[in-house]
């Protein structure tokens, strides 16, 4: 299975389970994340949704280039990008707290998934970054829009996007993208992080989160995410993008 879904003690954990591809996202992973979100929406006893990756090397390496490189045109790209953007919008606007448990490298769309979550806990060895720029595209699943909403100083958020590189966990903590940097097991880090929150009635969490969600609805967050998707789809068609993807895939085959 390309993903794992677990519900234990009020915590639903969605694990991207494609270590051999550094947990790259394909359609099966997208459908699995949608399944996890639907499960949370339909089960009132769920208190937290955790997103993580299998293994210790990678949280998620973004879109599966070996699959999505076949998308040639703006319209073809828009179809895939908007599918995942809609799923991440539902993730970002879930009433329960969402936690990205970053067990390893989170790049490209992987960084977008983590940014769509309320909290980001990073293993000390992990790196994360919006590397889409190295492929001559922008973020395309809404992650750029969410980043500007996460309260980072504007200059730090913009630099993260335009640098298009993976940063160390400590740097990401210092600029305010990561909330915690942990040593040891991710399970232990999660248990420690939610210890206090677990003592509070879930209706309080949902009421506080609704303050932010109400602001997002009033400020047309969804429309802004879809503008980001259209921009990425337009850039997708460029020769520079297709050459960059082919270069990665060729390197991988050596």
Ligand X SMILES: CC[C@H](C(=O)O)C(=O)SCCNC(=O)CCNC(=O)[C@H](O)C(C)(C)COP(=O)(O)OP(=O)(O)OC[C@H]1O[C@@H](n2cnc3c(N)ncnc32)[C@H](O)[C@@H]1OP(=O)(O)O
128, 111 contact by CB (below 8 A): yes
Q: Is 147 in the site for ligand X (CB under 6 A)?
A: no
34, 66, 206, 231: which one binds ligand X (CB under 6 A): 66
Q: Which of 32, 53, 97, 108 binds ligand X (CB under 6 A)?
A: 108
Token digits of residue 194:
């939610």
Kind plus residue range of the DSSP H or E element containing 60 = strand 58-60
Closest approach of ligand X to the CB of residue 184, in Å: 21
99, 64 Cβ separation under 8 angstroms? no
CB nearer to ligand X: pick between 133 and 202: 133
Phi, psi for 108 (deg, rounded to 5): 60, -130
The answer to whether residues 97 and 118 touch, using CB atoms and an 8 Å cutoff, is: yes
Pick between residue 81 and residue 189 the one whose CB is nearest to ligand X: 81
Stretch binding ligand X (CB under 6 A), from 101-109, 147-155, 156-164, 199-207:
101-109
Residue 22 contacts ligand X per CB under 6 A: yes
Please tell me what DSSP assigns to residue 214. H
Residue 228 touches ligand X, criterion: CB under 6 A: no
Site string for ligand X, 113-142 (x = CB under 6 A): ------------------xx--x---xxx-
Q: Is 29 in the site for ligand X (CB under 6 A)?
A: no
DSSP letter for 63, please: B
Return the residue matching tokens 């639903």. Answer: 12
Q: How far is the CB of 202 from ligand X (least distance, A)?
A: 32
| Residue 18 contacts ligand X per CB under 6 A | no
Q: Which of 109, 129, 133, 202 binds ligand X (CB under 6 A)?
A: 109
Burial 57-89 (b: 16+ CB within 10 A, else e): ebbbbbbbbeebbebeebeebbebbbbbbbbbb
Beta strands in 124-171 (DSSP E): 127-129, 167-168
User: Strand, helix or coil at 96?
Assistant: coil
Among 32, 53, 62, 129, binds ligand X (CB under 6 A): 62
Task: Please report how close the Cβ of residue 110 comes to ligand X at its closest, in angstroms.
Answer: 7
Total residues binding ligand X (CB under 6 A): 25
Residue with tokens 């996890």: 36
Q: How many CB atoms lie within 10 A of CB 14?
A: 25
Q: Which residues bind ligand X (CB under 6 A)?
A: 21-22, 24, 57-58, 61-66, 68, 81, 105, 107-109, 131-132, 135, 139-141, 248, 252
């Amino acid at each position: 299975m390309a993903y794992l879904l677990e519900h234990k003690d009020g915590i639903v954990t969605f694990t991207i389970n494609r270590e051999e591809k550094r947990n790259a996202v394909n359609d099966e992973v997208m459908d699995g994340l949608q399944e996890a979100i639907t499960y949370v929406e339909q089960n009132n006893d769920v208190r937290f949704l955790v997103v993580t990756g299998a293994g210790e090397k990678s949280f998620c390496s973004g879109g599966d280039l070996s699959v999505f490189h076949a998308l040639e045109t703006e319209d073809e790209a828009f179809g895939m990008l908007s599918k995942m953007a809609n799923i991440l919008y539902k993730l970002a606007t879930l009433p329960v707290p969402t936690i990205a448990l970053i067990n390893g490298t989170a790049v490209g769309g992987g960084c977008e998934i983590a940014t769509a979550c309320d909290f980001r806990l990073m293993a000390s060895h992990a790196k994360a970054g919006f590397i889409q720029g190295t492929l001559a595209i922008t973020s395309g699943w809404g992650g750029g829009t969410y980043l500007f909403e996460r309260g980072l100083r504007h200059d730090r958020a913009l630099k993260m996007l335009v640098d298009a590189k993976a940063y160390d966990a400590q740097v990401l903590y210092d600029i305010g993208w990561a909330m915690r940097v942990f040593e040891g097991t991710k399970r232990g880090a999660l248990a420690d992080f939610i210890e206090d929150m677990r003592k509070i009635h879930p209706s309080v969490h949902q009421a506080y989160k609704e303050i932010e969600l109400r602001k997002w609805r009033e400020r047309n967050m969804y429309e802004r995410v879809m503008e980001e998707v259209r921009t990425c789809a337009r850039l997708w068609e460029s020769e520079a993008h297709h050459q960059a993807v082919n270069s990665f895939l060729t390197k991988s085959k050596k």
